[in-house]
Amino acid sequence: MEPEDMYVLSGDGAIISSPSPKPYPHKPSKCSDCASLFMKAYHMRNAGAVIHSHGMESCLATMINPHLKEFRVTHMEMIKGIKGHGYYDELVIPIIENTAYENELTDSFAKAIEAYPKTTAVLVRNHGVYGWGDSWISAKTQCFGFSSG
């Protein structure tokens, strides 16, 4: 991915620049339907980067009990990589319900960020995970193994 392949958005989410068009057979690009969710993490948590993944692990975690509104785990080595957590701490990641369109998740996503001040990720039931950090490397770590790749 090159800089000319990316959308650049202003602080309020308006498109400042769009990717250069690619020749056939490439499809025309479109800005992510997740942009409003990314902006919430940038503004509410001062994130430097936000990652969204449709990893199988994140979907399975939300399916363990369809009535749970949180994923909770403790005594796992991976917790030490999550900001503000150690091995013996309990990691709590909020789960929000999926919608037909990702931009419809914005309000519940913002409410989850507000209700869980220590969280660095939000799970979306049967869909995926959004995680954030100071950099893309940190954001990937904060997804607690729920992001594929």
CATH of the domain at 80: 3.40.225.10
Phi and psi at 8, nearest 5°, equal -115, 125
Question: Is residue 88 domain-shared with residue 103, that is, in the same domain?
Answer: yes
What is the separation, in whole angstroms, between the first and last Cα of the chain?
16
- Let me know whether 13 and 61 are in one domain: no
Whether residues 70 and 123 fall in one domain: yes
42 shares a domain with 23: no
Shared domain for 65 and 87, answered yes or no, is yes
pLDDT of 127 over the 90 cut? yes
The answer to whether residues 74 and 114 belong to one domain is yes
Residues 2 and 72 in one domain: no
Mean pLDDT across the stretch 31-57? 91
Catalytic (active site) residue 57: no
User: Mean pLDDT, to the nearest integer, of 58-69?
Assistant: 92
Q: Does the pLDDT of residue 61 top 60, yes or no?
A: yes
- Structural domain including 74 reads 33-145
pTM tops 0.95, yes or no: no
CB-neighbour burial class of residue 17 (10 A; exposed 0-12, middle 13-18, buried 19+):
exposed
Give yes or no: residues 62 and 24 share one domain: no
Q: Residue 22: pLDDT band by 50, 70, 90 thresholds?
A: confident
Count structural domains, the chain: 2
Same domain, residue pair 53 and 67: yes
Q: What average pLDDT is seen over the chain?
A: 89
- 23 pLDDT band (50/70/90 cuts)? confident
Q: Band the pLDDT of 126: cuts 50, 70, 90.
A: very high
Set 57, 77, 102, 114: catalytic member: 77
